Structure 1
Amino acid sequence: MSEAARRPVGDAETRAANRSWWDGEAEDYYAEHGGFLGDSSFVWGPEGWTEDELDLLEVRDGMTVLEIGAGAAQCSRWLARHRDVRVVASDLSMGMLRRGRAIDAGSPAAPLPLLQVDGTVLPFADGSLDRVFTAYGVIPFVADSGAVLAEAARVLRPGGRFVFSTSHPVRWAFLDDPGQRGLTAQTSYFDRTPYVESEAGVVTYAEHHRTIGDLVRQVHAAGLVLVDLVEPQWPERNETTWGGWSPLRGALLPGTAILVCDRPA
């Protein structure tokens, strides 16, 4: 029996469920959203704003860059082709990484280094990276996003930068509906109870909610400095509907939050 509910769920259940979910969803996700994301494009969220436009990471030639929650590694692939950098893409899901490898196999460019990595435990030395980032990966899909921020801070060199995008926390108060029904608040913004899907009592998907204040406090606790909090407006050029994101809602409510965080020099 399938069930979707707001209820507590722990770290181990969250990790196992989401790894399995994205393994099984990888090909369908690519078939549905691959055209929007591109095979070698760096898109920060459903609004469609790109790193080429925003330059939030400020990646420069010679840097070492890690992407966590990379999916099929589209963002890392763009960096590798447009900057003279060393870039590694990682994800918890082997299914998503296989999709990334399939994209590389169909391209004349050199394949990306791909790692199956838990974003809360990074296999890199302290102070070894210039940039770490994730576009809609990891942060909402772990029970302890503070651990992700702490790990990013640990592996960054002084002066390094961590940038992450995630569903804007205000969205949790509204139905995941791109139409008029999605414009009326239904639950409390302050209710941090995770959204959980289960099958016969086994958790198959979990997503965790933090308020803006929670995320800012986690940035501070990790020893990082919040440089910018970007709430991208929906551009007129984007007529795409993606889940609960749409031009209608995007004109009235923020759908994405992007936090730009530096490790002090």
Structure 2
Amino acid sequence: MIQEYEPEATRRAASDTESSRASRGWWDRNADEYQNDHGAFLGDDRFVWGPEGLDEAEAGLLGPATELKGRRVLEIGAGAAQCSRWLAAQGAHPVALDLSHRQLQHALRIGTGAEPTGPDGSTGPDGSTGRGPAPGVSGRVELVEADAGALPFRDASFDLACSAYGAIPFVADPVWVLREVRRVLRPGGRWVFSVTHPIRWAFPDEPGPEGLSVGASYFDRTPYVEQDETGRAVYVEHHRTLGDRVRDVAAAGFRLVDLVEPEWPEWNSQEWGGWSPLRGNLIPGTAIFVCVAD
């Protein structure tokens, strides 16, 4: 009987290349389990900013829903494109981008009217490299398989951009990704992204009482890495302090107009990793940055 190796959790440096490779592999391997565990909470066409359940339909961080019609919107780290599907229902023209082929297959399973595209396809109207809608169906959501650090779109080709826990926590150089987003946004375009709240890095990733005591330095930026028996990273997540995130936003040419820290709602009884009603009522779990491309 072959015993499956359990990845070793550690804190060590991880480059852009190693982080990207680890993310692609991890999400391809774990997409099925992720969608099975969290698909009901995320819904098929709901825009949720994080485990607290803050819904874009109520929050309006991208702007009033009534003003989304006709807007070109880029979703980064789209997963199964639930957020993009909600945007399409408001009349927007979303492009859902993800590094993971398997995640985009789940987007097709749920239904988008489009096929995932890669670097060998034809050029779309926004400059994306890939095929558009599948023949005979209405393409409400375009899917693109690509790295957030090398967006395959023309300059100033989107009105809005968003990311709910996609890409930003998993890249070694977030400023590079933010500058790519800035490049493809039109002047005045809004960019909204959510990440794990930086304070959570000081606490164990446990939803119960054991997760309420500080266990690490908030100021330790060393990445969290899970590696196999050869030392190859299979999962990487990068920590930035709140101040780091604000400086990253400014360095990329954005103006920060709001920082939202969702409170845990009474209706939400679920546990998701380290998130739970117990912890959510005491410390923030998510930070949402609302930015404008000046």
Aligned-pair distance for 1:109? Answer: 7.2
2:279 pairs with 228, 249, 265, which one? 249
- Residue 162 of structure 2 aligns to a residue whose secondary structure is strand
Which of 34, 38, 50 is the equivalent residue of 2:55?
Answer: 50
Change (3 A) 1:109 1:128: closer
Counterparts of residues 205-244 of structure 1 (less than 5 Å): 205-244=235-274
**Secondary structure, aligned partner of 2:176:** helix
Q: Which amino acid aligns with 2:32?
A: E
TM (normalized to structure 2)?
A: 0.87
Contact 1:104–1:112, Cα closer than 8 Å, also in 2: no
Q: Which residue in the other structure is 2:96 paired with?
A: 89
2:81 is aligned to: 73
> For structure 1, which runs of at least 5 residues remain unmatched after alignment?
none
2:68 equivalent among 25, 46, 60? 60
What SS does the corresponding residue of 1:196 show, helix, strand or coil?
A: strand
Distance in 1, Cα, partners of 2:279 & 2:141: 36
Q: Which protein has the larger Cα radius of gyration, Structure 1 or Structure 2?
A: 2
Percent identity over the alignment?
A: 57
- For residues 63-142 of structure 1, the aligned pairs below 5 Å read 63-81=71-89, 83-104=90-111, 110=139, 112-142=141-171
After superposition, the C-alpha distances for 1:48-77 in whole angstroms (9 at most, x for unaligned) are: 010001000115222110001000000000
Evaluate the alpha carbon distance shift between residue 223 and residue 18 of structure 1 in structure 2; reply closer, same or farther with a 3 A threshold.
same
Deviation at 1:216, TM superposition (A): 0.4
Structure 2: gaps spanning 5 or more residues: 114-136
* CA 1:255–1:77: 2 relative to 1, 3 Å: same
Give 3-state SS (helix, strand or coil) of 1:185's partner.
coil
8 A Cα contact 1:101 1:111, kept in partner:
no
Aligned match of 1:29: 34
Query: By how many angstroms is 1:121 displaced?
Result: 1.1
Shift of 1:111: 5.5
Q: Over residues 191-239 of structure 1, what are the superposed CA-to-partner deviations in whole Å (9 max), with x where a residue is unaligned? A: 0000000112211000000001001001111111000000010011111
Are residue 19 (structure 1) and residue 27 (structure 2) matched? no
- TM-score, normalized by length of structure 1? 0.96
What CA RMSD, in Å, does the superposition of the two structures yield over aligned residues? 1.4
